[in-house]
Amino acid sequence: MINYTLSENILKAEDFIRLKVSAGFKERPVDFVKSALKNNLYDVVALVNDEVVGMGRLVGDGVMYWYLQEIVVLPEYQGQGIGTAIVNKLLDYITEHTPEGNFTCVGLTAAEGKEGFSERFGFAKSRGMNKYIVREGMTD
Ligand SMILES: CC(C)(COP(=O)(O)OP(=O)(O)OC[C@H]1O[C@@H](n2cnc3c(N)ncnc32)[C@H](O)[C@@H]1OP(=O)(O)O)[C@@H](O)C(=O)NCCC(=O)NCCS
């Protein structure tokens, strides 16, 4: 069993970019990422020997609507329960911040081929739709 710890609200732009690139996503400018992370409601990182090997963050209004974003574990650390632990910690945070007798809505956009992972936590397909706005000057 791998030895890792989970830490809250210490996600840095540099680690975010490194993990996203490891998962095959496009590299985003560091200042752009820093601005985005400032608006996190909450984030969780998995650490092995002080290295960030996994992450997940929550965005939303913090009351009625929550979104799980950027659930990523470095390829060499996958399949050892880290992704599950991160998602469970994010969901626990939402539960703790949902008043008794009420409900909130949690969204997640599953990466292609990862729908099964999301379904394990009770996420179900909906009619949610996404649109990307791409400004001129974007390079590959
Ligand atoms: C998705 C991801 C975060 C899972 O992280 P992980 O640390 O490997 O997750 P776990 O080790 O906790 O594995 C969770 C379980 O889900 C299963 N699983 C993983 N991907 C799956 C899929 N596409 N369909 C069904 N089950 C899947 C694993 O087999 C494992 O099952 P087990 O607990 O019975 O062994 C990781 O694969 C990743 O970073 N992928 C690239 C980024 C990405 O796609 N993120 C979006 C996720 S919606």
For residue 132, being part of any structural domain is answered with no
Q: Residue 72 is part of a domain; what is its CATH number?
A: 3.40.630.30
Domain span at 55: 5-119
In a domain, 131, yes or no: no
Residue appearing with tokens 């974003």: 69
Residue 130 within a domain: no
**Residue with CA nearest ligand 1 atom 48:** 110
Tens-digit pLDDT profile for the chain (140 aa)? 899 999 999 999 999 999 999 999 999 999 999 999 999 999 999 999 999 999 999 999 999 999 999 999 999 999 999 999 999 999 999 999 999 999 999 999 898 899 999 999 999 998 889 898 999 988 77
What total of structural domains would you count in the chain?
Answer: 1
Which among 2, 15, 117 is the best mutation to test ligand 1's pocket, defined by most ligand atoms within 8 Å of the CB?
117
Whether residue 97 is contained in a domain is answered as yes
Measured in Å, residue 137 CA sits from the centre of ligand 1 at 34
Tell me which residues have their CB closer than 6 angstroms to ligand 1: 23, 71-73, 78-84, 110-111, 113-114, 116-118, 120
Would residue 69 count as lying in a domain? yes
The reply to whether 48 falls in a domain is yes
Question: How do strand 51-60 and strand 65-73 relate by DSSP bridges?
Answer: antiparallel
Q: What's the whole-model pTM score?
A: 0.93
Among candidates 21, 113, 35, 105, which has minimal Cα distance to 70?
21
Give the H or E element holding residue 60.
strand 51-60
Residue 138 in any domain: the answer is no
